[in-house]
Every structure is written in C-alpha cells, then in structure tokens.
Amino acid sequence: MNPVTAAALERVACTLHELSDAQLHDLAAGRGRLVFTPDVAPSRRRAMPPAADLPDALAAEVAAIGRMTTTVEVAAHLNDRRFTVPVLRALARALGPTVPATGRNRSELVHGIVEGTVGFRARSAALSGGAWG
C-alpha cells in the first residue's frame, strides 16, 4: 500500500473513532457522509496598526512617501542606509496592502515599496484618467 494512502486511512480511522454511535450508524446507513476540508493555516500577515500606533519615525516615513510623486523620488529617499532590511519590511507593512513585505533582500523590498506606492498611484491614475479613450 502507498505510504500516503496508509497515512490517510489512519487519519480517517481516527476521525471515525471520534464519532458517536449514532453518527456511526447514520454514516453506515448512508444518512451521513464524511467531508474533506483542507486545513488552512491562518494568515501570517498581521493587520496594519492604526497610524497612531506606529512608531513616530515609521509614521513620518509613511507620510513622507505618501507625499512623493515620482518613483525616482521614492527610490532616492530609500537609498539611505538607515533603511535596513528589517526597517524596509516594517515600512512596507505600514504602507498598506499594495506594498509587498516579502522581498528577500534590500533591492526587492525597495522595488516593492516604489511600485506599491507611487507606481500604484500612477497606474491607477492612468486607468481612471481616460487612458482607454
């Protein structure tokens, strides 16, 4: 027998063992059924804290990036070495859902912040500003 099948049957047997006698009778008589539902891990991404709960320095950076209008401006701002990988990740989380915090290194995080802020706003403006017409 396939080891995966054997493990699955063992799990089914454990599940059957947890059923009451009435549930087992209903299942055996065809009045009940077992249903597979995948065990979904909870989201690891935490909700963004309110601006009042952000550290002052981080809130100031979020506000500063929000005022910037070009991708070059944001990239130049983030070129400062005080923006380490952990700081960039925290900044990405604080900037909101359009900014990925999953970059593997500094350059990926900077790229994600640039594209998720000013780049996102530029693309949205192009689509809603009559770019189709």
Q: What is the pLDDT of residues 65-75, one digit of tens each?
A: 989 989 899 99
d(CA 132, CA 130): 5
Could you give the count of Cα atoms lying within 13 Å of 88 in the half-sphere of its Cβ?
27
The predicted-structure confidence for 93-102, as pLDDT tens digits, reads as follows 999 888 898 8
- Please state, in angstroms and as integers, the Cα–Cα distance from residue 106 to each residue in 2, 21, 81, following that order: 45, 59, 10
pLDDT above 70 coverage of the chain, percent: 83
For residue 60, pLDDT over 70 is answered with: yes
pLDDT for 5 beyond 90: no
pLDDT, residue 130, reads: 57
Distances (CA, A) of 83 to 9, 16, 66, 78, 92: 51, 54, 17, 6, 11
Tell me, what's the pLDDT at 45? 45
